[in-house]
Amino acid sequence: MIAGFSLSAACGFRIFLPLLCVSAALNYGYVTPLSHIAWLATREALTVLSIATIVELVAFYIPIIDNFLDTLAAPLSIVAGTLIMGTVLDDVDPIYRWTIGIMAGGGPALLTQSTTSAIRLTSTSLSGGGVNFLVATLESIFGVGIVGLVLYSPTLALILVCILLCAMAVILFKSVKFIKRNFSNRQPINQCNFQNSTASNISSSSKFCFHCGVAVSNSDLFCFMCGRNIN
């Protein structure tokens, strides 16, 4: 369960990488395959997850696509985190297994994924996406690092993941405040604003005839409508 919690948190950084590690552990006999995750123990699943992991790692370095993938990553990370947590709860009733999986697996995955999405959105608003590759690199480092640490020492991985989740909760809170503050200050250009702007421009470059009320240029001496002297 300790390893499942840490790997679930890693799903928020990279969705398919932790699933690939679980599939590899099942295929090479490090973990006994259970009936509800038997499909992960197949060579086909290992091959597909390997390709998906490579594609995911590369795709987040492509501008625009990285922000689009963030919209898909939130629900997928919850599913991946829940699935991983469910694989380690083999002696638990299915109802409790997947309930715990959603809370202890999907929850950490959603927190890390939401934080990285907020950081990427902040980076995009400040740099136009110019430094998003740094965010993608850090995500990959954290994702690979957590998986490697779980294989080395699950207990140490759990401690560091708990610290990381607390830090990410603070970062997410500050990022959301920054995004709301900056985007709420932007005034949309609507029809009323356009009309007011047009009217102010007209009034600054023209004057009105006192006799018929038609707007004329400041350089005109006679009204083109009534023909009377404006001055």
How confident is the model over 185-208, as pLDDT tens digits?
544 444 444 444 444 544 445 565
The answer to whether residues 5 and 161 touch, using CB atoms and an 8 Å cutoff, is yes
Delimit the domains of the chain by residue range: 2-184, 193-231
23 has pLDDT over 80 = yes
Higher pLDDT: 179 or 221? It is 179
What pTM does this model have? 0.66
pLDDT value at residue 206: 57
Q: Helix, strand, or coil here: 216?
A: strand
Collapsed DSSP state (helix, strand, coil) of residue 18: helix
Task: Please write the tens of the pLDDT for every residue from 9-19.
Answer: 888 888 888 88
For residue range 130-179, list pLDDT tens digits in order. 788 888 888 888 888 888 888 788 888 888 888 988 888 888 888 777 77
Kindly tell me if the per-residue pLDDT of 69 is higher than 80. yes
Largest CA distance in the chain: 100
Alpha-carbon gap, residue 162 to 151, rounded angstroms: 17
Kindly state the helix (H) or strand (E) to which residue 208 belongs, with its residue range.
strand 206-208
Residue matched to tokens 């959105």? 121
Residue entry with tokens 């006994």: 32
| pLDDT of 230 | 63
Within 8 A by CB and 6+ apart from 109, the residues are 8, 9, 11, 12, 77, 78, 80, 81, 82
Choice among 121-135, 188-202, 213-227 with the minimum mean pLDDT? 188-202
